[in-house]
Amino acid sequence: MTDGAMGVLSFEFVTELYLIRHGIAAERGTYADDRDRALTEKGRDRTAQVAQRLLALGCRFDTLLTSPLVRAVETATILVTTGLAATYSITPTLAPEGDIADWLSWLAPWQAEHPQGTLALVGHEPDLSIWAQSLIAGTPHGNWQLKKAGVMGLSVPPAEQALGHSELFWLAPPRLLL
């Protein structure tokens, strides 16, 4: 869309998107299969504290999607138990090295059903930071890292315009939420 007076592109933001990294998990190598690594007690506690703080700040998610890896599912379970969402859905797209194009294909019909909706994704690094950079700048650049149990908020226009046209409105490591 173009603003006729100045020829500036402007977008209607239709989705409030929260990217949430899973909580602190067991060390790599603790499990035979990395997909089975669970949250530690500290990870569960810190994630629950972050979830309580998000709730106190008025966050609620119409939809919560999570990676199928155990540590992400446990994080999503804590978010639901806290009352941030009614339930969660597991999607392979959020597993490590998931394809943002696949997620954008899912997003378009979701946005049609949820105008002005709020969506949360629980996933992994570096994928969440790469996705955020792609949504904001069009391509990944820089060296971002979302801390474990950290939260990033983006305003996202319709899916077909999302890459390079989203806006960051929140970046919070867990220590700022505790």
- 135-164 pLDDT, tens digit each: 999 988 878 899 999 999 999 999 999 999
What is d(CA 175, CA 18) in angstroms, rounded to the nearest whole number? 17
| Domain hosting residue 22, numbered range | 14-177
Q: What are the Cα distances from residue 79, in Å, to 31, 39, 121?
A: 24, 14, 11
Q: How confident is the model over 79-84, as a mean pLDDT? A: 98
For Cα atoms 145, 17, 128, give the angle at the middle one, nearest 5 degrees.
25
Q: Based on the structure, what is the number of domains in the chain?
A: 1
Indicate the burial class of 90 (C-beta count within 10 angstroms; 0-12, 13-18, 19 or more): middle
CATH number of the domain where residue 53 is located: 3.40.50.1240
Q: How confident is the model over 164-178, as a mean pLDDT? A: 92
Residue 4 placed within a domain: no
Residue 83 placed within a domain: yes
Residue 132 placed within a domain: yes
Start-to-end C-alpha separation, the chain: 40
Entry pTM: 0.92
Residue 2 placed within a domain: no
pLDDT at 7 over 70: no
What is d(CA 1, CA 52) in angstroms, rounded to the nearest whole number? 39
- The token pair that represents 144 in the structure block: 């971002």
Taking Cα atoms as reference points, which of 74, 70, 76, 130 lies closest to residue 98?
130
The residue written with tokens 């209607």 in the block is: 12
Name the percent of the chain lying above pLDDT 90. 81
Spatial contact of 41 and 169, defined as CB atoms under 8 Å apart: no
Residue 24 placed within a domain: yes
Q: Which residues of 99-123 are buried (b: 16+ CB within 10 A; e: fewer)?
A: ebeebbeebeebbeeeeebbbbbbb
Residue 74 placed within a domain: yes
Residue 27 placed within a domain: yes
Residue 7 placed within a domain: no
- The whole-number pLDDT of residue 13 equals 85
